[in-house]
Structure 1
Amino acid sequence: MTTVLFVLLPGVHLLDLAGPAQAFFTAGDVGHPYDLRYVSALPDAATVTSAQGLPLAVGPDWPALTPDDLVVVPGWRVGEDPRAWPHVGDATRERLRAHHAAGGTVASVCAGSDALGQAGLLDGRRCTTHHAVQDELAARHPRAHVVRDVLFTTDDRVVTSAGIASGIDLSLHLLAVRHGPAVAARVAREMVVYARRNGTEPQASVMLRHRSHLDDTVHRVQDHIDTHFTRTLPLPDLAARAGVAERTLTRLFTRAAGVTPLRYQQSLRVERAEHLIGHGATVEAAAHAVGFRDARMLRRLRTMALPTRPGPPGS
């Protein structure tokens, strides 16, 4: 079971913590359990009081972690005086660095990015935070590349989000990367949230780009495509699964997701192929792995600007 370790500082915002915790907890309900742990960023603290006044019990020590585990630093109430931002202790900074150096992923929500900056993990990397403190983060960590007006960024296993509810988007993205888009979509639906991404973020996953709608018929078809995108999926079969005519499915799907079912499947194939190629596979091997007969179609689709704009919900 993969561990998700939340590192808490005084004044932690409840939703910065609860959003990601709920997403990974819900992943267990759909067959992918996580072991959620909570520790204080300050030494010898048995409780951490949230910004909303709720005392939170924390473990005394960091558990042993593997590269598959995730460390998350939720944000805290920053207040009007930047000098009052908490100082992360030497031991916590070293543990954050060591986990990343060992191949693990570290993430932050809102002002939690400052903790990663104090550990030196933002140097030379893209990052973001809540819009109200982006200037302060850039001033504190001048070697970081602060990206504005995005929900989250990923850069070499350092993942930062804009704050508050965007921690849910961050978590859905990580679940999609680890378990596939179908699992992330199921978690989003269980939580009754949009599976969404900022359209200006170039690393947006296909699933999250095209799930910003509430059409349950289209969601059911997308669930099937997400799970079986490497197979041939004829439109008549998809329409029969949805219980509608082919033309109706195409119209509903395009209106809700912004693309046709075929283009959605092609986008999933290309995204997965890009991942395989990035991990050393040849174009030919990646093409066969995602369901293409040969590499010609994959090469053509990689050079095309596939539509990325989701249709407006309810349009």
Structure 2
Amino acid sequence: MNQIAFLLVPGVHLLDLAGPAQVFSTAGDFGHPYTLSYVAERTEVPSAQGLPLTARSQWPELGPEDLIVVPGWRVHPRVAAPVIGEGVLQALRDHHARGGTVASICAGAEALGRAGLLDGRRCTTHHDVQDELARHHPGAVVVRDVLFTVDDRVVTSAGIASGIDLALHLVATRHGPAVAAQVARDMVVYARRNGGEPQASAMLRHRSHLDDTVHRAQDIIDTRFAEPLPLPALASAVGVSDRTLTRLFSRATGGLTPLRYQQTLRLERAEHLIGHGATVDSAARSVGFEDARMLRRLRARAG
């Protein structure tokens, strides 16, 4: 995902657009730059909140590594859904056929459905229009009560603020959860919600606090969790005593010590490796355990 192209439809919700755009823009501030572009059938696009937007009418050149995002629009029973031209729908189909990823926020899933990209795939949308999406596109597998789904490079989210969760997930997938945690923290979105899937990262689950000392300690652990991190060295790095760091850490994370937090990250990464074919022994070594016995104990405890 070097380029992110946002397809703007009349009545677009500003937060559907701005939330993911801010995630990718902030990732660029931390050394992972993206080129953001905004495309529409007409260069002037009215938003649902009344702010007029300006877009380009020509698509940028997109490769398989790039992403198209369709933000949602205002849905009202007395207002017809926006017309989306066949040329735009073909652009969505072509990008996916070339190996690219397409994503939708909220009612934007309707555009993916009209392009035929939801047939046989898991998807979701805002709870107000889930029934409508299922009725319009009977070949789609509409999943309810989740924040986002990912199926064969088709990514859909429930709507509004969940677009931020979706974008953070994409950043975590490409750059690792530590980068996503860094972006979330900078956006003051410490508690990234999971998508109803097991990909939720402990790095983000335990960021729902405002203790800067603990965040700095977590920054170190996040990037070096496979290394030995003695408590005295960690405490010294953030400028407090061992006892103070342990007390602050436990209070901020709901009872975790720095060591237990590190073990949680190691276990999560090991489970990911095992799920992708690694042996328990090799996974244990990859995440910093000298042998597999500790990993087996942690897996048994978690199970």
Does residue 61 in structure 1 map to residue 41 in structure 2?
Answer: no
Tell me how far apart the structure 1 counterparts of residues 274 and 87 of structure 2 sit (CA, whole Å): 38
* Secondary structure in 2 matching 1:111: helix
Which residue number in structure 2 is paired with residue 48 of structure 1?
45
Does residue 145 in structure 1 map to residue 141 in structure 2?
Answer: yes
**For 1:226, which of 222, 228, 235 is the aligned residue?**
222
Which residue number in structure 2 is paired with residue 3 of structure 1?
3
- Could you tell which deviates more after superposition, 245-254 or 62-71? 245-254
Pairwise mapping of residues 227-246 of structure 1 onto structure 2 (< 5 A)?
227-246=223-242
- Could you tell which deviates more after superposition, 162-171 or 286-295? 286-295
Q: State the identity as a percent.
A: 73
Q: How far apart are 1:46 and its partner, in Å?
A: 2.0
Length-normalised TM-score, structure 1: 0.85
Tell me how far apart the structure 1 counterparts of residues 12 and 51 of structure 2 sit (CA, whole Å): 10
Which residue number in structure 1 is paired with residue 21 of structure 2?
21
Tell me how far apart the structure 1 counterparts of residues 178 and 208 of structure 2 sit (CA, whole Å): 14
Does residue 207 in structure 1 map to residue 200 in structure 2?
Answer: no
Which residue number in structure 2 is paired with residue 312 of structure 1?
none
Length-normalised TM-score, structure 2: 0.88
Contact 1:126 1:147 in 2 (8 A): yes
Encode CA deviations 1:225-269: one digit per residue, 9 max, x unaligned.
111112111222222223334344333323322333223223323
Which residue number in structure 1 is paired with residue 70 of structure 2?
73
* Secondary structure in 1 matching 2:183: helix
Encode CA deviations 1:29-66: one digit per residue, 9 max, x unaligned.
111111001111x3xx2222211232322222222222
Q: How far apart are 1:299 and its partner, in Å?
A: 4.5
Contact 1:173 1:208 in 2 (8 A): no
Q: How far apart are 1:76 and its partner, in Å?
A: 0.5
* Secondary structure in 1 matching 2:302: coil
Change (3 A) 1:288 1:81: farther
Which residue number in structure 1 is paired with residue 248 of structure 2?
252
Change (3 A) 1:66 1:263: farther
Contact 1:196 1:210 in 2 (8 A): no
Contact 1:13 1:74 in 2 (8 A): yes
Q: How far apart are 1:280 and its partner, in Å?
A: 5.2
Which residue number in structure 2 is paired with residue 289 of structure 1?
286
Which residue number in structure 2 is paired with residue 191 of structure 1?
187
Unaligned 5+ segments in structure 1 are 307-315
**For 2:155, which of 143, 159, 176 is the aligned residue?**
159
Question: Number of aligned pairs?
Answer: 302
Paired AA for residue 223 in structure 1: D
- Could you tell which deviates more after superposition, 165-174 or 16-25? 165-174
* Secondary structure in 1 matching 2:99: coil
- Could you tell which deviates more after superposition, 12-21 or 176-185? 176-185
Contact 2:148 2:196 in 1 (8 A): no
Contact 1:70 1:104 in 2 (8 A): yes
Which residue number in structure 2 is paired with residue 305 of structure 1?
302
Does residue 123 in structure 1 map to residue 119 in structure 2?
Answer: yes
Contact 1:7 1:73 in 2 (8 A): yes
Which residue number in structure 2 is paired with residue 266 of structure 1?
263
Unaligned 5+ segments in structure 2 are none
Which residue number in structure 1 is paired with residue 12 of structure 2?
12
Contact 1:75 1:108 in 2 (8 A): yes
**For 2:100, which of 99, 104, 112 is the aligned residue?**
104
Q: How far apart are 1:289 and its partner, in Å?
A: 2.6
